[in-house]
């Protein structure tokens, strides 16, 4: 007698209503087929992703070497974080430079206007003095 035979015998004696539990699990077999199909697809995708991840790792190491760092103590996350910080600082500085140029152009325009007004006043004074 196996353990399963013993379990069935005990349940038949003590809890006979549990013996038909398989009726509650009628979708179990179709679900297992779906899971098998999914497993085959997922395994292929996992292999593909692992290959891509390894390629990214090699590219990151090459990038770290390009910037003159040692890839061993410089993990992927640190390299990406450093690049992200550089990008943010670069963009912020570029925006600030553009705003500064805009302000300088505005000031130059205002100075030109004030010079024009001053020269017009001076010309008016000269005309009135000549009359």
Based on the domain organization, do 99 and 69 belong to the same domain? no
Distance, CA of 124 to CA of 58 (rounded, Å): 76
- Work out the angle between the directed axes of helices 28-66 and 76-130 (0-180°, nearest 10): 60
Based on the domain organization, do 90 and 69 belong to the same domain? no
Name the pTM for this structure. Answer: 0.47
- Quote the distance between the C-alpha of residue 18 and its chain's center: 51
Based on the domain organization, do 67 and 93 belong to the same domain? no
In angstroms, the Cα distances linking 113 to 83, 104, 106, 126 are 45, 14, 11, 20
Based on the domain organization, do 93 and 57 belong to the same domain? no
Residue 27 falls within a domain, yes or no? no
pLDDT attached to residue 44: 93
Work out the average pLDDT over 59-65.
Answer: 88
Distance, CA of 66 to CA of 70 (rounded, Å): 10
Q: Quick check: 131 pLDDT over 70?
A: no
Based on the domain organization, do 41 and 67 belong to the same domain? yes
Each residue's pLDDT tens digit, 104-126: 999 999 998 888 887 877 777 77
Residue 54 falls within a domain, yes or no? yes
Residue 10 falls within a domain, yes or no? no
Each residue's pLDDT tens digit, 74-105: 788 888 888 899 999 999 999 999 999 999 99
Based on the domain organization, do 68 and 81 belong to the same domain? no
Distance, CA of 51 to CA of 58 (rounded, Å): 11
For 103, the domain range is 75-131
pLDDT attached to residue 118: 77
* Token pair of 71 as six digits: 């890839």
């Amino acid at each position: 007698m196996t353990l399963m035979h013993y379990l069935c015998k005990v349940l038949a004696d003590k809890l006979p209503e549990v013996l038909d539990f398989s009726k509650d699990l009628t979708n179990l077999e179709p679900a297992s087929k779906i899971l098998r199909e999914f497993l085959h697809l997922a395994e292929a995708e996992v292999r593909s992703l692992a290959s891509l991840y390894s390629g990214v790792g090699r590219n990151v190491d090459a990038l770290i070497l390009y910037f003159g760092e040692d890839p061993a103590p410089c993990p992927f996350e640190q390299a990406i974080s450093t690049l992200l910080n550089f990008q943010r600082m670069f963009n912020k500085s570029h925006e600030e430079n553009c705003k500064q140029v805009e302000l300088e152009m505005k000031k130059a325009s205002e100075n030109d206007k004030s010079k024009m007004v001053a020269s017009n006043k001076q010309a008016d004074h000269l005309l009135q003095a000549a009359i």
